[in-house]
Copies of this chain bind each other. A is one copy, B any other.
Amino acid sequence: MYRTHTCGQLNLSHLNTNVTLSGWVQKSRDLGGMTFIDLRDRYGITQLVFNMEENPELCAQARKLGREYVISVDGNVIERSSKNLKLPTGEIEIKVSRLETLNAAKLPPFLIEDETDGGEDLRLKYRYLDLRRNPVRNNLMLRHRMAQEIRKYLDEQNFMEVETPVLIKSTPEGARDFVVPSRMNPGQFYALPQSPQTFKQLLMVSGFDRYFQIVKCFRDEDLRADRQPEFTQIDCEMAFVEQEDVLNLFEGLVCHMFKTVKDLDLGSIPRLTYADAMRLYGSDKPDTRFEMLLTDMNHLVKGHSFSVFDNAELVAGIRADGCANYTRKQLDELTDFVKRPQIGATGLVYLRYNQDGTLKSSVDKFYSEGELKKWAGAYNAKPGDLILIMAGAEEKTRKQLNELRLEMGSRLGLRDKNIFAPLWVVDFPLLEWDEDTGRFHAMHHPFTSPKPQDIGLLDSNPKEVRANAYDLVINGTEIGGGSIRIHSRDVQEMMFKHLGFTQQEAQNQFGFLMDAFEYGAPPHGGIAFGFDRLVSIFAGLDSIRDVIAFPKNNSGRDVMIDSPSAISDDQLKELKIQTTI
């Protein structure tokens, strides 16, 4: 037997017990005639003590142990003379009587400490060592705990966990598929699912009533810091529901998670329409940890010979509380920030409401003090505040103001990772125009139901059609999205037509689903949460990579196992494919 206890378990109640422990050498210290070793495992750290006078041979053996050696010891639990009350095991130590080295360890390429000296590439290559570090393992522990709590909640709500297939069919809709050549069906390919969307809808047709799955999904996209080719969704679907039913049930899930995992009472989750989100925040995923709403001011600024404002479709701004003392340099920084190509603004107008009650603006040669007073009034500004104003085409300007708002929120410390502001954004548009392809795309996906009262607009004014679609946003990050689905063949066919599918294309790709709708499909809807993102938000992290045990890098490579890699000619031959590079 390798151990009677873990390294996090022993305390004063175990005094004089003979124990066996196993673990890793965290560090060792030689103090005169004594050698102390911190023995580490997942559960904690226990101090081992060796006495040169009492057992010189054993002590000499202990002094040879290096960092990260795996050892097993027998010993007796004794009280420490110098206690460490920060550790649960800090009042005891083990007087060792037997020491066995289970495995030696080379010097790790970086420090296995909370703060490490290893760069990202090195830590990815030796991911199994990085995972030994407490902060990294704690992220994975959190992920485990959250997965258990999610399932517990959904199981209690009568959701059935059903595994949907991973080897499915490629469809041109949406992002790029990963494909898998079929040896038994030469020339044909499976695809890996971007989501189990059609299968969960079929389960509703089957009368499963409530389905969920925590499931891997796949997208062959060019990667960013928060994208991975494989990612995990909490995928859910319900029958006989309207939007309100779905929102209420999953509000329950979100509140349950915050309560059980972070001991936070959320209360209820506010709701905002897509239209209001765009108007007030310039974003469909606003960070609502802070106010700083967009204020429209077309009615205040037009007709004063300032052509930038006169020619703009929208003039609007935000109020940065207490920033009237921003220096010229700080204001220039902000101007540079909005002029970056990623944001693309042409400039930034400011209005300082100084502490002494005077007003100063970069455009005060066009506007009188009285006019500026009116501006300040529109923003409910008080002395000491700064107003930042942008102008241009409406949609673009709102998005630019959103970026500026987030930047100001960060500068003002209003985006605390320990504060959580969830929000439902509802009433998304059904369709969005895609300039590249010159056709409409489904904003959520082609199975999303238009609002019944808006169906009449589909032909006359498709952009105005709203969907029964909703997103869950937390702290400015989209964590989940869903919709009430189409459940009739006619509406689904009409939808595909509006998305530019021929009848034949629609039938080839989604015929099985439309056929299913003809055999008694119930009204249904659902939601999917990005599990990686949810965990990273809970962990206070910026990237999902930190909550994935074995992530891939930005080229889609696993640098630890060196994958992807070439395969043998025999494999290619059996699969009846060849590479063309």
Chain A: residues with CB nearer than 8 A to chain B?
A: 1-3, 6, 22, 24, 40-43, 68-70, 72, 102-106, 108, 126-129, 131-132, 137, 140-141, 143-144, 147-148, 151, 155, 160-170, 172, 176-192, 198-199, 202-203, 205-209, 216, 218, 220, 222-223, 229-230, 232, 240-242, 245, 487-488, 512, 516-523, 548-550, 552, 555-558, 560-568, 571, 574-581
Contacts and interface: CB of A to CB of B under 8 A. Distances in A.
Contact of A183 (B22, B172, B206, B220): B220
A178 B176 contact: no
Contact of A103 (B2, B108, B488): B488
Contact of A564 (B40, B169, B230): B169
Given A184-B222, A520-B24, A520-B70, A207 B42 contact: yes
B561 A3 contact: no
A517 B487 CA distance: 54
B192 A230 contact: no
Contacts of A160: 140-141, 144
A162 B144 contact: yes
B129 A519 contact: yes
A567 B189 contact: yes
Given A103-B487, A148-B161, 10 more contacts: A41-B207, A69-B520, A103-B517, A106-B518, A163-B549, A165-B550, A168-B563, A183-B220, A203-B549, A512-B562
A176 B165 contact: no
A522 B102 contact: yes
Contacts of A147: 161
A577 B576 contact: no
Contacts of A203: 128, 131, 549
Contacts of A208: 42, 131, 137, 140
A555 B185 contact: yes
A43 B565 CA distance: 50
A578 to B, nearest CB: 6
A80 B56 CA distance: 89
Contacts of A164: 549-550
B550 A186 contact: no
B188 A564 contact: yes
Given A558-B169, A561-B512, A209 B42 contact: yes
B240 A3 contact: yes
A339 to B, nearest CB: 32
Contacts of A69: 520
Contacts of A556: 182, 184-185
Contacts of A218: 166-167
Contacts of A520: 24, 68-70, 103-105
Contacts of A140: 160, 162, 208
Contacts of A131: 202-203, 206-208
Nearest to A108: B519
Contacts of A103: 487-488, 517, 520-523
A329 B458 CA distance: 76
Contact of A179 (B148, B177, B523, B575): B575
Contacts of A199: 549-550
A527 B574 CA distance: 32
Contact of A216 (B6, B143, B166, B560): B166
B181 A179 contact: yes
Contact of A565 (B148, B189, B578): B189
Given A137-B208, A206-B132, A230 B165 contact: yes
B580 A240 contact: no
Contacts of A580: 576-578
A189 B564 contact: yes
